[in-house]
């Protein structure tokens, strides 16, 4: 089954009102004639209003970097699914390694966020991936399986219908040291196979992005791999020309 690729920019803790407008104007110009690839950006939630306005009339879809499990009430500092929907955000990143590490988010807590997003009709972008030590200890598959199983155990494999997984080896994030296409493909094939063991139909349609030092120079080769359905891009998503090269590479490789 042909899967439509998805390239998403995770801006992390970067930007300003002016930067948001400027980057989106640049992306709209660069990507005006690109088809065959879904494109999303996740600015800081502070700038969703500016982003929504700037994106009007474009095919670039709005996303966010996190969400709370609660919908309303006394939860100081949190942002709900309904608030994200209010700004037209669709693709919501959860379980990013930076949140797992700095905010001590557990697999089970992240599964609750996954449930909240499904309940709200939003698309979870579930980040998974092993640390350098786990990689060297040969535990990559075990870690990825555990992180996926937390969702399957809580919600069933069908929860991955219409969802996105981003395989982001922690050792590749922000280091300039991307996984090689073959390394990434091997893990992506494992992830898809792990889901296929429960449901081939769900496995065939789930988008599995690669993330970790994806840039305009290495994206095309990564996208030649059959189980790499796009990318979750950090640093290179902050520059319109570089991000556009990555999107165009996905559109070219997958169509």
Q: Which residues are annotated as a binding site?
A: 10-12, 174, 213, 234-235
96 is catalytic: yes
Which residue of 121, 156, 174, 226 would you call a contact of ligand 13P, by CB under 6 A? 174
Q: Near ligand 13P by CB under 6 A, which window of 131-139, 144-152, 185-193, 226-234?
A: 226-234
Its sign, for the CA torsion 111, 113, 119, 125, is negative
Nearer to ligand 13P, 96 or 188 (CB): 96
Only one of the segments 115-123, 128-136, 154-162, 212-220 lies at the binding site for ligand 13P (rule: CB under 6 A); that segment is 212-220
Least separation in angstroms between residue 175's CB and ligand 13P is 7
- Judged by beta carbon, residue 80 or residue 213, the one nearer ligand 13P is 213
Among 130, 168, 227, 229, binds ligand 13P (CB under 6 A): 168
Minimal distance in Å, beta carbon 230 to ligand 13P?
12
Cβ contact 167:173 at 8 Å: no
| 209 and 164 Cβ atoms separated by less than 8 Å | yes
Distance from C-alpha of 242 to C-alpha of 41, rounded to nearest angstrom:
14
- Per-residue b or e along 190-211, where b marks 16 or more CB atoms closer than 10 Å to that residue's CB: bbbebbbeebeebbebbbbbbb
Q: Assess whether 142 carries a catalytic annotation.
A: no
State residue 222 phi and psi, 5-degree precision. -60, -40
Measured between alpha carbons, how far is residue 118 from residues 13, 17, 97, 169, 237 in Å?
25, 30, 21, 25, 26
**Sites of contact with ligand 13P (CB under 6 A):** 10, 96, 168, 173-174, 211-214, 232-236
Residues labelled catalytic: 96, 168
């Amino acid at each position: 089954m042909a899967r439509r690729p998805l390239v998403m920019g995770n801006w992390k803790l970067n930007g300003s009102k002016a930067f948001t407008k400027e980057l989106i104007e640049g992306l709209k110009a660069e990507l005006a004639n690109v088809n065959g690839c879904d494109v999303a950006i996740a600015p800081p939630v502070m700038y969703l209003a500016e982003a929504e306005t700037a994106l009007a009339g474009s095919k670039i879809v709005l996303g966010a970097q996190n969400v709370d499990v609660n919908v309303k009430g006394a939860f100081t500092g949190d942002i709900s699914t309904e608030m994200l929907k209010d700004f037209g955000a669709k693709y919501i990143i959860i379980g990013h390694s930076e949140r797992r590490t700095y905010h001590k988010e557990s697999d089970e807590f992240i599964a609750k966020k996954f449930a909240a997003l499904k309940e709200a009709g939003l698309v979870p972008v579930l980040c998974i991936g092993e640390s350098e030590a786990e990689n060297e200890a040969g535990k990559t598959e075990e870690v990825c399986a555990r992180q996926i199983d937390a969702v399957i155990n809580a919600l069933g494999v069908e929860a991955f219908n219409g969802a996105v997984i981003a395989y982001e080896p922690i050792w590749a994030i922000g280091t300039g040291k991307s996984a090689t296409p073959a390394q990434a493909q091997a893990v992506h094939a494992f992830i898809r196979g792990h889901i296929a063991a429960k449901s081939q139909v769900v496995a065939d349609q789930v988008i599995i992005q690669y993330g970790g030092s994806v840039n305009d120079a290495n994206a095309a080769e990564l996208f030649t791999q059959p189980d790499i359905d796009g990318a979750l891009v950090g640093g290179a998503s902050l520059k319109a020309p570089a991000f556009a090269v990555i999107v165009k590479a996905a559109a070219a490789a997958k169509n």
